[in-house]
Structure 1
Amino acid sequence: MTLIQRAALAAIATTTLAVKAGEVEVLHWWTAGGEAKAAAALKATLQAKGHTWKDFAVAGGGGDNAMTVLKSRVVSGNAPAAAQIKGPSLQEWAAEGVLANIDDVAKAEKWDSLLPPAVANVMKYKGNYIAAPVNVHRVNWLWVSNDAFKKAGAKVPTNWDEFFVAAEALKKAGIIPVAHGGQNWQDFTVFESVALGVGGADFYKKALVQLDPATLNGATMSKVLDTFKKVKTYTDKNAPGRDWNLATAMVIKGEAGMQMMGDWAKGEFVAAGKTPGKDFSCVAAPGTAKAFTFNVDSFAMFKLKNEANIKAQKDLAAAIMSTDFQEVFNLNKGSIPVRLNMNLAKFDDCAKLSSKDFVETAKSGSLVPSIAHQMAVPSATTGAIQDAVSQFWNDDKMSTKDAQAKIAAAARTK
């Protein structure tokens, strides 16, 4: 152990004695691979401040299992210090009166100047911060196999007309044009990118954030649905039920040319030893280069009674937004820092492009929440619209008009 390390440990010990150390119990579902490493980094940050980290990890169900456990804990008056909750669900929990106001941390750490308003507003309830954001995933990505495109003599598409030209070229070369996993959330992920690409950011906001009936029933939505259904004709017959990472593997191997998926797909390419720009390309989904659908993970802070634990909770909130944690976590997760003005020297080209577009769209007003990833509307409404979208994707006999009516009806679900 070096002298510096000894001195650091002594300083931590002194701080711990001066300010009574607390315990933070943290509910999350980061239990695999890069996510588990990322959670370990946060734990280490808290332990360095002298606090105890109590892991409350609930695997499976994309967080559904965790939410079931959390509800029973909160009802019994035994809430954890922090829980992984995101999007409109934060406001739903805050409305129950169980979340803590962490404005003092946010002010001390200058969160309002470090977060785009579109993200900061999601972290607040009635103007007060109740959660700390961890990262930003961009959802509207198109992942491209450079080998497959070279073999097909195809050009990487920037709009939907070019997308279908490329798809035809791939098909003629005997390559599956679009890798897809036929699961509700994957269908919905493709749908929102089509909606953004065909209609633009203002249309997207009106239709899929404000749920405006006239927009949902209008001509642009008809065009979105027609384009969405056309994409399906370029997927393979084995798509139903396929997991997203297996679809990504098809692009990695060059069996398929393209996949529309969030930036968590990048982790699969990197794990397979592939290099951005050389082996694969990361480009915005057709027509969406000047827009950005965001999916932000965050931790809601619950009301606690023990003073030492409240101090630990505040230290946790500050640590989440620190530059060190934002770098380590996002390098492991494949996402980008939510904190603006970060040094991205260690990040790859896909992340740098994502960060540049995140900043630019925040300024232009085309940074929009992902409806497919529970960032835009309440969970019951999200589920109803997702089901309607998947019904249309899977039923070749359903007309665009019928699908539009089903989606508009689903948008009224409370």
Structure 2
Amino acid sequence: MLLDLRTTLATVAMTALLALPAAAQTVDVLHYWTSGSESAAMRVFADAYKAKGGTWVDSAVGGFDDARASALNRIAGGNPPSVLLDNVGEVAAFANQGILSPVDPAIAAQLAPHLPALLVKRITVDGKLYAIPVDIGGGNWMWYSTKAFKDIGAQPPKTWDAFFAVADKLKAKGYVPLAFGGQPWQEASLFYNVMLAQGHGFYNQVMTNHDVKVAGGPAMLKTFETFRKLTAYVDQGSEGREWNDATAMIINNKAAIQIMGDWAKGEFLRAGKVPGKDFGCDLAPGTQNSYQMVVDLFDFPKVSKADGKAGQTLFESVVADPTVQAQFGIVKGSLPARNDVDIAKADMCMQLGEKTLQNPNSPVPNFEIALTADQEGQVKDLVSQFWTTPAMTAADATKQFASIIAQSND
């Protein structure tokens, strides 16, 4: 992915698209990026869009689930947003339902060769691209307080066993060992990190190959057992906490570690913190040779008004631009989706992510890429139930998880 920012979208077709009359270009962008750093990242796109003469309507709805409900209600009511921040797992389903318009062919042809092949496959229906990815985030990041580990005279853990070994020392020093938000999606995110720590090959057998036997085997049992132990190292106020509020616990040196995607870095940067000095970054315990891809993308509900259609095309050209993606990545904390963007001046955390991705065997799919939206929801429900129900055994949870994976083979 080491690349050249001078790469542009300079084709005759693209130039013509950007020359559309400004008054005829409007986008209504429905999204759930409402934290401080996420809002700042979205402004990169908004500013670039408006600089091209377009009119931007910002329809922010807090929380993925609420944003999704709002989008579906608007589509059903005949007033769809023209741009939707979406989940990889939903794109093909929405396209097959006739909800979405494909990406402009000229933009799609220019963009697709610079995206991961696995990702292109998931967002292509009948030979047409139906979404524009804007970043390749990593879901398996560990953010930590440098002060906390200095206080206990220990190094940040490289394995979960090492985490448990230092957790009581952190507690004794007054730190919450694991900053956490008890929301179903955060519980699922932590679970998949623990699962990945059981082995890159194991994770791929389950998530990529959908091997039901492995999904119900001893490594999955160990995943649930380790996950259960982590419940003892979060604070009593974790239930319902937003992810960025958990990040603030690290920023304010109240907690030692947060396992969260690289969007968390944006919160540190927004608070004026310096990586390597005020906070540390590393891949999550046991996952140092893996990169769990988390993708943010936009898709485009069908609209009838001419200014909305023209606005969609202008938006597509703006967010597909490698220069804009580079600017966005710096604010958001993630790597650009395009593989032709120069990140040589990026911070140490982004450089670590890039270095990890240089190994072609390191990427593994996030659940949004590996599972259907229905399976994703079932796993989320199962994991949340297990996290909050001490009486539920790891063996029972493992059996239920395997049955969900089996649906991939039906």
Task: Please indicate, yes or no, whether the TM-score normalized by the shorter chain is above 0.5.
Answer: yes
- Separation in structure 1 between the aligned mates of residue 46 and residue 236 of structure 2, nearest angstrom: 44
1:204 aligned onto 2:197: no
1: CA distance, partners of 2:389 / 2:233: 16
Counterpart code for 1:125: V
Q: Distance in 2 between matches of 1:353 and 1:401?
A: 36
The alpha-carbon deviation at position 135 of structure 1 amounts to: 1.7
Contact 2:104 2:313 in 1 (8 A): no
Show the counterpart of 2:324: 325
CA distance in 2, matches of 1:107, 1:391: 41
Query: What's the secondary structure of 2:387's corresponding residue?
Result: helix
Aligned CA RMSD, in angstroms, stands at 2.9
* Identity between Structure 1 and Structure 2 (%): 36
Q: Tell me what 1:57 maps to.
A: 59
Task: Give me the whole-angstrom Cα distance separating, in 2, the residues matched to 1:271 and 1:45.
Answer: 20
Alignment match, 2:128: 128
Residue 269 (structure 1) shift: 2.2
Alignment of 1:3-82 (within 5 A): 15-16=19-20, 21-53=24-56, 55-60=57-62, 62-82=63-83
Following the alignment from structure 1 to structure 2, what is the Cα–Cα distance between the partners of residues 99 and 229? 40
Which residue pairs with 1:175 in the alignment?
A: 175
**Greater C-alpha Rg:** 1
Deviation at 1:411, TM superposition (A): 4.4
Check the 8 A contact 2:28/2:59 in 1, yes or no: no
Q: TM-score, normalized by length of structure 1?
A: 0.84
Q: Could you tell me which residue of structure 1 aligns to residue 11 of structure 2?
A: none
| Inter-CA distance 56–319: structure 2 relative to 1 (3 Å threshold) | same
Distance 1:404 1:257, change over 3 A: same
Inter-partner Cα distance in structure 1 for 2:337 and 2:131: 13
Taking a change above 3 Å as real, the CA distance of residues 38 and 398 of structure 1, as seen in their structure-2 partners, is closer
Structure 2 residue matching 1:405: 3-state secondary structure: helix
Residue 370 in 1 paired to residue 366 in 2? yes
> C-alpha displacement at 1:58, in angstroms?
3.6
Q: For residues 44 and 33 of structure 1, what CA distance do their matches in structure 2 show?
A: 16
Task: Name the count of aligned residue pairs.
Answer: 393
1:26 maps to a residue whose letter is V
Residue 143 of structure 2: SS of its match in structure 1?
A: strand
Going from structure 1 to structure 2, the CA distance change for 1:130 and 1:104 (only over 3 Å counts) comes to same
Q: CA, structure 1 residues 173+40, in 2 after alignment: closer, same or farther (shift >3 Å)?
A: closer
Q: 1:261 to 1:47 in 2, by over 3 A?
A: closer
Displacement of 1:108: 4.5
Which structure has more relative contact order (CA 8 Å, sep 6+)? It is: 2
- Separation in 1, partners of 2:35, 2:255: 26
AA of the residue aligned to 1:204:
Y
TM-score for the superposition, normalised by structure 2 = 0.85
Give the equivalent residue in structure 1 for 2:382.
Answer: 388
Q: Check conservation: 2:144, 2:250, Cα contact below 8 A.
A: yes
Structure 1 residue 21, shift from structure 2 partner: 3.8
CA–CA separation in structure 2 for the residues paired with 1:223 and 1:170:
24
Corresponding residue SS for 1:74: helix
CA distance in 2, matches of 1:385, 1:184: 10
Q: Which residues of 2 match residues 75-154 of structure 1 at below 5 A?
A: 75-102=76-103, 104-109=105-110, 111-154=111-154
Cα distance in structure 2, aligned partners of 1:273 and 1:266: 11
How far is the alpha carbon of 1:90 from its aligned partner? 0.6
Structure 2 gap ranges (5+): 1-14
Partner of 1:272: 271
User: Is the contact made by 2:26 and 2:310 (CA closer than 8 Å) also made in structure 1?
Assistant: no
In structure 2, the CA distance between the partners of 1:51 and 1:243, relative to structure 1 (3 Å rule), is closer
SS of residue paired to 1:134? strand
Per-residue deviation, residues 156-180 of structure 1 (Å, max 9, x unmatched): 2222332222324434544332222
- Tell me the SS of whatever aligns to 1:136: strand
Q: Which residue of 1 aligns with 2:12?
A: none
SS at match of 1:99: coil
Q: Cα distance 1:278–1:302, how it changes in 2: closer, same or farther (>3 A)? A: same
Q: How far apart are residue 396 of structure 1 and its match? A: 2.5
Q: Structure 1 counterpart of 2:119, which letter?
A: V
Matched, 1:379 2:373: yes
Instruction: State the shift of 1:47 in Å.
Output: 3.4
Task: Pick closer, same or farther for the CA change 1:313–1:256 going to 2, 3 Å.
Answer: closer
Counterpart of 1:331, as a letter, is I
Instruction: Output one character per residue of 1:124-155: Cα deviation in whole Å (capped at 9) or x when no partner.
Output: 22442111112222110111211111111112
Counterparts of 1:162 and 1:35, CA distance in 2: 32
SS in 2 for 1:233: helix
- State the 1:57 CA deviation: 0.4
Any gaps of 5 or more consecutive residues in structure 1?
A: 1-10
Which residue is equivalent to 1:221? 220
